[in-house]
Amino acid sequence: MKIDIVSVFPEYFEVLNLSLMGKAQDKGLLEITAHNLRDWTHDVHHSVDDTPVGGGAGMVMKPEVWAECLDELLGLGAPAQQESSAQAEAATMQPPATDAHGSAAAPVLIFPNPSAPLFTQRDATELSHAGHLLFGCGRYEGYDSRIPDYYRAQGIDVREYSIGDYVLNGGEVAVSVMLEAITRLMPGFMGNPDSIVEESYTGEGALLEHRQYTKPAVWRGLKVPDVLLSGDHGKVDRFRRDEALARTNDIRPDLIKALDCKALDKADRKT
Ligand code: 6GU
């Protein structure tokens, strides 16, 4: 998967060279490039933002700079606009991204935005099959809304996502979060692919996970539930499923409401 990230703080993404994401890059599973948006400016101040039209506090990211950058990274010819020959050459020299099946894949353009729909495990799963993701990180009060509108109108798959109900200073951390959720679902990313099958938020059920224990069976006076020591796999499965349902009902009743009834079995209904 080819991943381009555009930001005024590309250094933020050095964390992606660590741990499993770093290993996936070494293996050639991921090819991540963090670009500096200011490289596409032409003025001496390298300015990327301006005051909001209509008034108000803060600054809004300008569409012209973003468009020069995104046109190049998406391999789109700039309409009636001059491109530097070096930039044009770089754009044509890029090999086409391929999807999970090795065929050329349409890029997905993603803008983190606290006022957008919530990014969920479902989105992560869908995007883990993409061949090319391009993230545009806004700063300040956000970016000119015509930027996503324009690329949608060009037929690009454009997404805007929030990662939760709180406000961050910019999209960089949100992109790191989304990327980790997406890439760990790629085939070959995890050492043990089973570990992603039974997690919270996956499967039709989308329940919080049951509680976890390891040895010793008694630690500082606290016991592991007896049933987990029984060796009866049927009982263990039932215990865990009941606990997952009860915990989800307590902590995230919204997930229970969203549950597809068909995902429940007869025994579930008694808990
Ligand atoms: Cl995607 N961006 C920013 N700036 N703040 C957020 C967010 C995104 N999601 C939640 N808060």
Q: What is the pLDDT of residues 100-156, one digit of tens each?
A: 665 568 999 999 999 999 999 999 999 999 999 999 999 888 999 999 999 999 999
Kind and range of the H or E element at 31?
A: strand 31-36
Q: What separation in Å is there between the alpha carbon of 233 and the centre of ligand 1?
A: 42
Quote the percentage of the chain above a pLDDT of 90.
76
pLDDT in tens, 227-261: 999 999 999 999 999 999 999 999 999 999 988 88
As a whole number of angstroms, the distance between CA 159 and CA 130 comes to 13
193: pLDDT confidence band, cut at 50, 70 and 90? confident
Report the interhelical angle of 85-93 vs 63-74 (nearest 10°).
40
Q: Which numbered atom of ligand 1 lies nearest the CA of 163?
A: 9
Q: Is the pLDDT of residue 189 over 60?
A: yes
Separation of 231 CA from ligand 1 center, angstroms?
Answer: 45
Q: Residue 79: its pLDDT value, please?
A: 78
> What does each C-alpha distance from 54 to 30, 51, 66, 146 come to in angstroms?
42, 9, 21, 15
Instruction: Label each residue of 168-197 as H, E or C.
Output: CCCCHHHHHHHHHHHHCCCCCCCCCHHHHC
CB 172 within 8 A of CB 7: yes
- Whether the Cβ atoms of residue 104 and residue 98 lie closer than 8 Å to each other: yes
pLDDT band with cut points at 50, 70 and 90 for residue 213: very high
Q: How far apart are the first and last CA of the chain?
A: 43
Q: Tokens 């009060």 label which residue?
A: 141
**Do residues 6 and 137 lie in contact, with contact meaning Cβ atoms separated by under 8 Å?**
yes
Find, among 155, 175, 171, 150, the residue nearest to 64 by Cα: 150
Which of 113, 159, 179 to mutate for ligand 1's pocket (most ligand atoms within 8 Å of CB)?
A: 113
- Across all residues in the chain, what is the average pLDDT? 90
Ligand 1 neighbours (beta carbon < 6 A): 112-114, 161-164, 166-168, 170-171, 174
Bridge partners, 178 (sequence order): none
Atom of ligand 1 nearest to the CA of 166: 11
| Mean pLDDT (whole number) for 185-196 | 84
Binding residue numbers: 138, 163-168
Annotated binding site for S-adenosyl-L-methionine: which residue ranges?
138, 163-168
Distance, CA of 2 to CA of 40 (rounded, Å): 21
Spell out the domains of the chain, with CATH numbers in brackets.
2-193 (3.40.1280.10), 198-270 (1.10.1270.20)
Give the distance (Å) from ligand 1 centre to CA of residue 184: 21
Q: What is the pLDDT of residue 255?
A: 92
Q: Rounded distance, CA 209 to CA 258, Å?
A: 16
Q: Could you give the ipTM of this predicted complex?
A: 0.96
- Residue 174 CA to ligand 1 centre (angstroms): 6
The angle formed by the CA atoms of residues 51, 165 and 173, to the nearest 5 degrees, is: 70
Confidence grade of residue 269 (pLDDT, cut at 50, 70, 90): confident
Q: What is the rounded CA–CA span in Å between residue 52 and residue 206? A: 41
For the segment 38-60, the average pLDDT, to the nearest whole number, is 97
Task: Kindly tell me if the per-residue pLDDT of 65 is higher than 60.
Answer: yes
From 5, 12, 161, 168, the mutation candidate for ligand 1 (largest count of ligand atoms within 8 A of CB) is 168
Q: Give the three-state DSSP class for 238.
A: helix
The number of beta carbons lying within 10 Å of the beta carbon of residue 176 is 20
Block residue for tokens 């009834």: 261
